[in-house]
């Protein structure tokens, strides 16, 4: 094996600049934590975070059209990767805005003053009283974003696994840092961590079996091995199954979904919004790449399995959402159901399926982050009013916020003139073209069920008498306002003029292999 | 068919014509109280700017040879679903141009007038916002290059009309009138949407250019169906028989609204639609005949209603119906009439706006009383209003050289070119016009004062009278200007086509007969209402008067034919819905709920059970894959 | 055991699935179930793993047999000492005060150990192959060390090393 000479890998630094920028800023931001004084930390961190996201976004946009494989085939920068990068960076920017919000909670911040302090302890009380805020969330946030960027561009399983962990570990921590209801938050973080580690193990085991099968971890290499020996049995199948389980966990597909409601409910709303939007995008990006590039040749093997998973996901998500009484849990089930719909695009296994999935992910990301922005604003004395009953009559007491939330609900339900409609239409059309008509029929039935609980929220907001302890809408600072405005604008504009984005994703409908 | 020219130079700003008032509407409606102080002025400014832009474009068009006067501007592909494509694109040609000028100039004048008329209204910012919205929607309607975009504008003006009729929504009558207008308009809208669908199915496109180019490919039956559906749409928007009932009630809105929307512009959208679709009617004789019949019926209905109403605005509304009837009628005559339909539309837009604003000025001085039986002898107290009203009066009854004479005369002449019988009918209707308009001025400006206690009639402020003067000048000279100097026939001919047929008798004969009949009508009106004293309480009247006071039983007919059956159907459906469908749906809902509650139990909150279910999932995935592999 | 894996199939037919199963027949090969065709020189995995498999089965069988036979035949008399984890009667782990929590600092020390541990693991092979890896290897390793130093600096600056 050893040839004796070492050839350093050719790395196209410009092409992977977005990853490097975010990762480098994350390291820098750890140093800021170490050396900058307590009061100056927050502004410095915010400048770093927002600045680096914008610069990275500039690099993504400036190299639209780049199609290259670099770092010895480990990273691939192609159409889908660039589109996903753009979406991830913009949504991360909005997520950062939500996390930076400080005027909504009267006690100052959405994150616990000291994450290590015991909930309810004297230490915690003192930290809070002194008005300490935590800025460690920002390095964590940046590490997570850099992991996501790497995840959707990874062209081999090893790098994909590293990216998966870089993306997930900070999220586990972020989920546990809510300032209020800390026990719930910490419980959710622990659950997320344990189950996430469990699923990572599946992913890694699957990757090793695939290595055993093909002798390589690169996705195109696996595809080559498959076409070289197509009837190779259990090793490939078992490896693929375990690998896919790891990814399905991240997208929240049934039956790997059970962490979702607990984590969405427990994590601070800002983090939930960020995570719900971006992790879904990153995980589906990776799932699409693995399925299309590595396993495209045996799609007849995995499609029926995904059929089952997709139908389960759509129906369990939609049906269980019907009986939720907590709005964050309801949105968690909604995100499960949406995963089922996006899976239609994966199953289509065509260029149309890929571009429709990309559009869906973007539409879903903006709608979701906006919905969580609204949730972070609707409050009661004890913090956020997440109980659905407190939302009764909200549309009449706060017409603007009610209307904005209604737009998000309508979009998630897939009502025309919102981005959700165009998105659903796209994946359904792609699935029908690939001959999955029955799956689409099932999806339509599921989306009717789903529409019911989305519309129920609107009915509750507009046609119900206000609750005894009605929620009030806190006035946000510019941060949340910008995020909310961006969310609602994109949702409506993509519903009315989807053509530019449709063209963009249509130009990004092939994976480079 | 003329070539479509790309939008260059001043024409690259076509979108701005619409965007200006739209931006005004957005600022006013979303700006909140902050804009209260300067909002109305912004409203005036945006519409005036559009008017200036419109004039610049007119100059631009005049600069070009006739065959290059159709300009198209595509902003972006708006809807693109399967084979269906509709662009957000505008088409400015000779026909759209005259509409743009009518809408923006009359619109600007009425905005100015409203500054005075609505000065004391607490919601005047909202009022100007709605007016701007209306102007934007109406401009979209006439500038669209495809039927789908027309439909958007069509709905937009309907919405603005609904909002403005119900502007004083605290009054139950205003709220009811707004609802009525909206519902009746829906009937027409269904016609338009069906027509659009039929066009798409037949021609594969809904853009004007594609549809008109390929009319020869469609069967006459299809074209007749499209034509009749478009007529239904036009009847709804233009208050033509049988969808006329809403216009009289729409007078509940503020008077500037009645002038702008329910006299000058929106109600003429039906005429625009028919003239714009001339290629379809030219190829569908029966549809065109239906247009003529609908127009003729409405001419008489409107005139009779106008003769009996004591409410000055409703009387004018009846007259509007009647005059639009003339336009629809002319549009149905085919190439000999299209041009004159638009000609009359323009002159009517100006003189009727002037008459309405004059009526508003009178009401302003009479504490908002609309009952003409409580007016009288106002000519000395409201000199400017009186003189300008007289200009409008002479224009509408068609006395030379006032503008209405030229346009109405051309329509009557065109009618004789087609058929002597309908020609005689139009002359008769012109006589009735002379009667009811004379009745109106006699009751309002002449005779003895019959004012209510505490009313002190006075002239309106300059901000109201200046628009009146401008419109009066228009009522006087516009007909001549358009006919002799503007050469309207040859201007519109590239879009609408123009033909002339010989008549059995010389033209002067028809003009003379018409004038004689009109003067007879006016004299009867003068004798009845100007010479004899006008009783304050309306007399019992003949059966025709009584019927006309009740809008010729339009509401009663609607009630028996539409409302009662609808209610009965609704009651039945509601019963069926409760018992049948709801039973079924609730049944499903119950089962789904049960399922949800079962599934939700799996969400125990315990990590170990989650992990277990993941392991179960892994087995499912592996098994599914292996099963597939084995087959 | 399925042995068709040794059939060399033409590459592109993978894209025509699901017919690719049928391709075997179309291309003139045997039906799948009956196709035995050992390539020359290929190691038959069955032969390599057979002894291990047999050993595994024997071991499992012995363990199962022992447990089952013991439960079936042995007497069952329990006392407190017997159910303790260790029969000497001592609790296996001393519980810290306050219900089982360790101070956070304890974990910090453990993590610090892991950081340097991993660092060393990577330093050894790099040192061995230093010459071949040239400048690229040096820079990569420097970056690696820098990245590991950053959290250490963070911990040190924020007082993680002070045991109070």
Confidence category of residue A124, pLDDT binned at 50, 70, 90:
confident
pLDDT of residue C16: 42
State yes or no: pLDDT of C28 exceeds 50. no
Cα B625 versus chain centre, distance? 64
Sorted by sequence, the CB contacts under 8 Å of residue A371 that are 6+ apart come out as A273, A331, A405, A408, A409, A412, A487
Radius of gyration of chain A (CA): 22
| pLDDT tens-digit series, residues A396-414 | 888 889 999 999 999 999 8
pLDDT at res. B581: 64
| B78-131 per-position pLDDT tens digit | 666 666 677 788 888 888 888 898 889 888 888 888 888 887 778 888 888 888
pLDDT of residue C36: 42
Instruction: Provide, as residue numbers in chain B, all residues whose Cβ is less than 8 Å from the Cβ of A237.
Output: 622, 625-626, 629
Q: Rounded to an integer, what distance in angstroms lies between the CA atom of residue A203 and that of residue B419?
A: 87
What is d(CA B366, CA B369) in angstroms, rounded to the nearest whole number? Answer: 6
Residue C37 pLDDT class (50, 70, 90 cuts)? very low
Partner-chain residue, chosen from C12, C24, C157, that has the shortest CB–CB distance to A35: C157
Chain C environment of A232 (Cβ under 8 Å): 5
Domain-located, residue A311: yes
Residue-wise pLDDT for A71-88, tens only, equals: 888 999 999 999 999 999
Contact B593 A249 (CB under 8 A): no
**CB contact at 8 A, A366 and A277:** yes
Task: Provide the b/e sequence for B304-317 (b: ≥16 CB within 10 Å).
Answer: bbbbbbbbbbbbbb
Is the predicted pLDDT of residue C27 greater than 50, yes or no? no
pLDDT above 90 coverage of chain B, percent: 1
For A217-241, the pLDDT digits (tens) are: 999 999 999 888 766 678 888 899 9
Tens digits of residue pLDDT in B542-583 = 666 676 676 666 666 666 666 677 677 777 766 666 666 666
Q: Is A31 on the interface with C (CB under 8 A)?
A: yes
pLDDT higher at B169 or A478 = A478
pLDDT of residue C5: 41
- Alpha carbon distance A37, C39 (integer Å): 70
Q: How many domains does chain A have?
A: 1
How confident is the model at residue C1, as a pLDDT? 40
Query: With an 8 Å Cβ cutoff, is A26 touching chain C?
Result: no
Q: Looking at the predicted structure, is the pLDDT value of residue C65 above 60?
A: yes
A513 within a domain of the structure (yes/no): no
| Closest to B332 measured CA to CA, from B427, B227, B193 | B227
Between C78 and A441, whose confidence is greater? A441
Asked, for residue A380, whether it belongs to a domain, the answer is yes
CA pair distance A405, A139, nearest whole angstrom: 31
pLDDT for the residue numbered A83: 95
Residue A464's pLDDT is 80
User: Does C45 have pLDDT greater than 80?
Assistant: no
- Tell me the C-alpha distance between A507 and A65, whole Å: 9
Range of the domain at A128: 17-506
Residues B419, C81: Cα–Cα separation, whole Å: 121
A512, part of any domain: no
- Which residue, chain included where needed, has tokens 């008329």? B117
Cβ–Cβ under 8 Å, residues C112 and C119: no
State whether residue A13 sits within 8 Å of chain C by CB. Answer: no
Alpha-carbon gap: A224 to the closest alpha carbon of chain C (Å): 9
ipTM of predicted complex: 0.84
Contact B388, B358 (CB under 8 A): yes
Residues of A in contact with B84 (CB under 8 A): none
Judge whether A12 lies within some domain: no
Residue A378 gets which letter from DSSP? Answer: E
Taking CA A221 as the corner, what is the angle to CA A215 and CA A225, rounded to the nearest 5 degrees? 70
Give the rounded percent of residues in chain A with a pLDDT score beyond 90: 59
Which of A301, A316, A320 is facing B625, going by the closest CB pair?
A301
Chain C CB contacts of A30 under 8 Å are: 150-151, 154
pLDDT at position C6 = 42
Strands laid side by side in the B71-81 sheet: B5-6, B71-81, B84-92
Half-sphere exposure at residue B220, Cβ-oriented, CA atoms within 13 angstroms? 7
- The pLDDT value recorded for residue A264 is 94
Interface check for A3 against chain C (CB to CB < 8 A): the answer is no
Q: Are the beta carbons of C104 and A228 separated by less than 8 Å?
A: no
Comparing B167 with A193, which gets the higher pLDDT? A193
Q: Please check the confidence at residue C164 and state whether its pLDDT lies above 70.
A: no
Phi, psi angle pair for B533, to nearest 5°: -70, 150
Touching C: which chains, 3+ CB pairs < 8 A?
A: A
Between A10 and A371, name the one with better pLDDT: A371
Contact indicator for B409, B517 with CB cutoff of 8 Å: no
Question: What's the pLDDT at A151?
Answer: 96
Tens digits of residue pLDDT in A427-440:
998 898 888 888 98
Is the pLDDT at A371 greater than 90, yes or no?
Answer: yes
Q: Is residue A4, in this structure, part of any structural domain at all?
A: no
Residue A342: pLDDT band with limits 50, 70, 90 = very high
Residue ranges in chain B whose pLDDT is less than 50: 1
Q: Is the pLDDT of residue A102 over 90?
A: no
**Which residue is it, tokens 């026909």?**
B95
Quote the Cα angle for A475-A480-A482, to 5°: 115
| Confidence class for position C7, pLDDT limits 50, 70, 90 | very low
Mean per-residue pLDDT for C69-90?
A: 74
Q: What is the mean predicted confidence (pLDDT) over A124-145?
A: 88
Most confident range, picked from A179-183, A464-468, B594-598: A179-183
pLDDT in tens, A14-54: 999 999 999 999 999 999 999 998 889 999 999 999 999 99
Interchain contact, B621 vs A241, CB within 8 Å: yes
Structural domain contains residue A7: no
pLDDT of residue C38: 44
Q: B630 touching A, CB under 8 A?
A: no
pLDDT at C97 over 60: no
Check A233 against C5: CB less than 8 A apart: yes
Mean pLDDT score of chain A:
90
Rg (CA), chain C: 31
Q: What is the mean pLDDT of chain C?
A: 70
In order of A63, A64, A361, B348, the CA distances from A59 in angstroms are 6, 9, 21, 61
Indicate the DSSP class of residue C10.
P
Q: Decide if A116 and C104 are in contact by the 8 Å CB cutoff.
A: yes
Q: Tell me, yes or no, whether A162 lies in a domain.
A: yes
């Amino acid at each position: 094996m050893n040839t004796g000479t070492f050839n350093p890998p050719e790395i196209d630094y410009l092409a992977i600049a977005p990853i490097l920028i975010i990762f480098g800023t994350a390291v820098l931001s750890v140093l800021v934590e170490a050396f900058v004084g307590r009061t100056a930390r927050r502004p410095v961190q915010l400048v770093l975070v927002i600045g680096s996201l914008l610069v990275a976004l500039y690099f993504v946009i400036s190299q639209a059209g780049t199609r290259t494989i670099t770092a010895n085939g480990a990273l691939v920068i192609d159409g889908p990767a660039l589109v996903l990068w753009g979406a991830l960076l913009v949504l991360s920017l909005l997520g950062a805005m939500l996390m930076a919000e400080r005027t909504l909670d009267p006690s100052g911040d959405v994150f616990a003053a000291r994450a290590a302090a015991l909930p309810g302890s004297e230490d915690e009380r003192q930290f809070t009283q002194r008005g300490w805020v935590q800025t460690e969330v920002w390095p964590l946030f940046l590490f997570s974003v850099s992991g996501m960027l790497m995840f959707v561009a990874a062209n081999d399983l090893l790098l994909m696994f590293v990216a998966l962990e870089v993306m997930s570990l900070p999220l586990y921590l972020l989920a546990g840092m809510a300032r209020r209801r800390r026990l719930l938050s910490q419980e959710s973080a622990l659950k997320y961590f344990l189950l996430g580690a469990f699923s990572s193990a599946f992913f890694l085991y699957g990757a090793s079996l695939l290595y055993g099968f093909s002798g390589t971890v690169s996705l195109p290499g696996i595809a080559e091995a498959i076409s070289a020996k197509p009837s190779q049995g259990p090793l490939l199948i078992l490896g693929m199954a375990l690998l896919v389980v790891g990814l399905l966990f991240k997208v929240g597909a049934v039956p790997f979904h059970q962490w979702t409601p607990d984590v969405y409910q427990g994590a601070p709303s800002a983090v939930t919004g960020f995570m719900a939007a971006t992790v879904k995008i990153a995980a589906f990006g990776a799932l699409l790449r693995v399925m299309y590039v590595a396993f495209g040749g045996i799609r007849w093997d995995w499609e029926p399995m995904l059929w089952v998973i997709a139908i389960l996901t759509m129906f369990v998500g939609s049906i269980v959402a019907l009986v939720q009484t907590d709005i964050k849990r309801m949105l968690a089930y909604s995100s499960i159901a949406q995963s089922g719909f996006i899976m239609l695009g994966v199953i289509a296994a065509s260029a149309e399926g890929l571009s429709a999935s990309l559009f869906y992910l973007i539409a879903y990301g903006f709608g979701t982050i906006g919905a969580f922005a609204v949730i972070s604003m609707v409050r009661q004395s004890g913090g956020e009013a997440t109980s659905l009953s407190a939302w009764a009559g909200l549309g009449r007491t706060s017409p603007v916020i009610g209307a904005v939330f209604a737009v998000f609900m309508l979009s998630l339900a897939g009502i025309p003139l919102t981005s959700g409609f165009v998105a659903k239409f796209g994946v359904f059309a792609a699935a029908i073209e690939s001959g999955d008509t029955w799956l689409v029929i099932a999806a339509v039935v599921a989306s009717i069920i789903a529409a019911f609980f989305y519309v129920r929220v609107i009915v509750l907001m507009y046609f119900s008498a206000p609750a005894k302890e009605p929620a009030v809408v806190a006035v946000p600072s510019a941060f949340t306002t910008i995020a909310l405005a961006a969310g609602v604008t994109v949702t409506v504009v993509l519903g009315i003029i989807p053509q530019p984005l449709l063209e963009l994703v249509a130009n990004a409908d092939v994976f480079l292999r | 068919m003329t070539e479509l020219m790309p939008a260059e130079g001043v024409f690259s700003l076509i979108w701005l014509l619409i965007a200006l008032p739209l931006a005004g509407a957005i600022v006013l409606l979303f700006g909140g109280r902050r804009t209260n102080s300067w909002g109305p002025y912004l409203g005036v400014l945006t519409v005036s700017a559009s008017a200036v832009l419109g004039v610049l474009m007119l100059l631009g068009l005049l600069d070009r040879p006739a065959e290059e006067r159709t300009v198209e501007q595509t902003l972006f592909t708006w809807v693109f679903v399967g084979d269906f494509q509709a662009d957000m694109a505008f088409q400015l040609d000779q026909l759209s141009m005259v509409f743009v000028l009518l809408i923006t100039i009359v619109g600007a004048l009425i905005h100015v007038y409203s500054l005075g008329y609505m000065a004391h209204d607490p919601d005047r910012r909202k009022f100007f916002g709605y007016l701007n919205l209306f102007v934007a929607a109406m401009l979209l309607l006439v500038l669209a290059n495809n039927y789908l975009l027309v439909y958007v504008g069509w709905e937009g003006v309907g919405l603005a009309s609904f909002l403005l009729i119900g502007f004083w929504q605290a009054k139950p009558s205003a709220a009811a009138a707004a609802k009525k207008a909206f519902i009746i308009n829906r009937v027409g809208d269904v016609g338009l949407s069906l027509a659009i669908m039929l066009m798409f199915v037949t021609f594969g496109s809904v853009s004007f250019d594609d549809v008109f180019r390929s009319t020869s490919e469609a069967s006459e039956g299809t074209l007749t169906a499209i034509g009749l559906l478009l007529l239904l749409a036009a009847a709804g928007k233009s208050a033509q028989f049988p969808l006329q009932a809403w216009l009289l009630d729409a007078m509940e809105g503020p008077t500037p609204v009645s002038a702008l929307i329910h006299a000058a512009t929106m109600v003429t959208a039906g005429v625009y639609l028919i003239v714009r679709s001339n290629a379809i009617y030219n190829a569908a004789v029966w549809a065109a005949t239906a247009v003529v019949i609908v127009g003729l019926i409405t001419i008489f209905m409107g005139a009779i209603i106008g003769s009996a109403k004591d409410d000055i605005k409703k009387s004018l509304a009846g007259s509007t119906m009647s005059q639009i009837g003339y336009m629809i009628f002319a549009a149905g005559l085919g190439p000999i009439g299209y041009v004159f339909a638009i000609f009359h539309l323009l002159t009517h837009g100006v003189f009727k706006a002037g008459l309405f604003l004059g009526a508003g000025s009178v009401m302003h001085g009479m504490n908002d009383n609309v009952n003409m039986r409580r007016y009288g002898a106002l000519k000395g107290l409201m000199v400017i209003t009186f003189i300008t009203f007289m200009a409008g009066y002479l224009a509408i009854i068609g006395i030379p050289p006032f503008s209405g004479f030229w346009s109405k005369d051309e329509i009557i002449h065109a009618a004789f070119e087609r058929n002597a019988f309908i020609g005689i009918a139009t002359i008769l209707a012109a006589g009735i016009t002379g009667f009811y308009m004379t009745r109106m001025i006699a009751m309002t400006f002449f005779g003895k004062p019959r004012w209510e206690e505490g009313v002190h009639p006075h002239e309106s402020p300059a901000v109201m009278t200046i628009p009146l003067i401008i419109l009066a000048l228009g009522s006087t000279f516009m007909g001549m200007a358009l006919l002799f100097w503007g050469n309207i026939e040859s201007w519109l001919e590239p879009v609408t086509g123009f033909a002339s047929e010989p008549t059995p008798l010389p033209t002067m004969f028809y003009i003379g007969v018409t004038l004689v009949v009109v003067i007879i009508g006016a004299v009867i009106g003068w004798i009845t209402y100007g010479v004899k004293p006008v009783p304050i309480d309306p007399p019992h009247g003949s059966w025709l008067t009584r019927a006309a006071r009740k809008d010729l039983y339009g509401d009663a007919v609607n009630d028996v034919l539409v409302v009662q059956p609808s209610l009965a159907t609704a009651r039945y459906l509601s019963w069926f819905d409760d018992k049948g469908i709801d039973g079924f749906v609730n049944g499903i809902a119950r089962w789904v709920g049960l399922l949800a509650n079962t599934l939700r139990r799996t969400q125990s909150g315990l990590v170990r059970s989650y992990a277990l279910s993941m392991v179960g999932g892994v087995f499912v995935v592996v098994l599914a894959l292996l099963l597939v592999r084995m087959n | 055991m399925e042995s068709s894996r040794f059939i060399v199939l033409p590459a592109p037919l993978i894209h025509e699935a699901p017919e690719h199963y049928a391709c075997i027949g179309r291309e003139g090969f045997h039906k799948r179930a009956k196709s035995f065709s050992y390539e020359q020189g290929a190691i038959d995995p069955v032969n390599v793993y057979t002894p291990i498999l047999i050993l595994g089965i024997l071991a499992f069988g012995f363990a199962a047999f022992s447990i089952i036979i013991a439960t079936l035949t042995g007497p069952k008399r329990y006392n407190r000492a017997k159910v303790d984890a260790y029969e000497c009667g001592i609790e296996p782990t001393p519980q810290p005060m306050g219900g089982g929590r360790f101070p956070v600092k304890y974990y910090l020390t453990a993590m610090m150990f892991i950081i340097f541990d991993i660092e060393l693991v990577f330093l050894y092979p790099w040192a061995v192959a230093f010459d071949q890896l040239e400048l690229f290897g040096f820079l990569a390793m420097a970056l690696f060390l820098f990245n590991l130093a950053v959290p250490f600096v963070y911990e040190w600056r924020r007082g993680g090393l002070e045991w109070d």
